[in-house]
Amino acid sequence: MEKTLVILKPSAIQRALIGEVIKRFEQKGLQLSGIKMIQLDNSILNEHYAHLADRPFFKRIKDSMMISPVIVTCWKGKDAVRVVRSMTGSTNSREAVPGTIRGDFSMSMQENIVHTSDSVENAKEELARFFKEGEIFDYSSALTPFTYSNDEI
């Protein structure tokens, strides 16, 4: 099963949407494998958003991500990266379709509730960036046989 990172951004924290966002992933059938609240700083944000360092909005992104603590989560499931990306919707929330997390809870390109890994490779890197060894758990869920058919596991 794949694992992917979801960060509940300060916009989710400040707007009291933590439970709503987590509930959607749980209801879909994804398994929560790691969760913690952390305060991001320049060092980790420079690393995480290095691919945007030369963009004019880089400082705005970092400032936004340090307004309050964030919640970093690891979700596990079949095709987890693709499923989570589909559930969250377009990065520009005004373009996100209703029914997606951003489509239902956000009006902003920046204050768009969540960050999600965009590939299996990036998910592995991002999870290693935000979680130490022993903070992501592999455990059996009694719901697995009711979430997947036996040939999908």
Among the listed residues 22, 115, 131, 136, the single catalytic one is 115
User: By C-alpha distance, which of 63, 94, 68 is closest to 14?
Assistant: 68
Tell me the β-bridge partners of 74: 5, 34
13 φψ region: left (φ > 0), alpha (ψ -120 to 50), beta (else): alpha
Helix pair angle (120-130, 80-88), 10° resolution: 90
Tokens of 88: 């969250």
Active site residue 115: yes
Spatial distance between the Cα atoms of 93 and 14, rounded to a whole number of angstroms: 17
Residue 117 · residue 74 · CB < 8 Å: no
Spatial distance between the Cα atoms of 99 and 110, rounded to a whole number of angstroms: 19
- Active site residues per annotation: 115
